[in-house]
A = this chain, B = another copy of it.
Amino acid sequence: MPKTTSKRDSRVTVIKALAHPTRLQLAEALRGDGVCCVGELHARVGGDLSTVSKHLSLMRDAGWIKSEKRGLHIHYSLACDCLGEFLRCVDQLAATSNKENCC
């Protein structure tokens, strides 16, 4: 059993899971393509294959994506439909970050 986790910590876990350029890119790729296996995602983002695998399992644990075994491959896909909504807000802020006043 894990030590009791506050609602805030659960939220932070979810947010952290997208707070990395590679993981964000993985989410974007899955949003565009629907379903990908690790090799395909690796081809997109580069780096070490094991690193990509670790990023994916972190995102899965956080709830962003789900995986399904199909023969030798593992098919990853987005688990939720709210990524667009999430990014819409992020982009609204990203457009103004570091630029004088906000929004």
Chain A residues within 8 Å of B, Cβ to Cβ: 2, 6-16, 18-21, 24-25, 28, 61-66, 79-80, 82-83, 85-98, 101-103
Contacts and interface: CB of A to CB of B under 8 A. Distances in A.
Number of copies of this kind of chain in the complex:
2
Given A12-B21, A80-B103, 12 more contacts: A8-B21, A8-B25, A11-B90, A11-B91, A12-B19, A15-B15, A16-B19, A19-B19, A61-B98, A63-B102, A66-B101, A82-B88
A95 B82 CA distance: 14
B93 A64 contact: yes
Given A82-B88, A85-B89, A63 B103 contact: yes
A5 to B, nearest CB: 8
B11 A94 contact: yes
Contacts of A80: 89, 92-93, 102-103
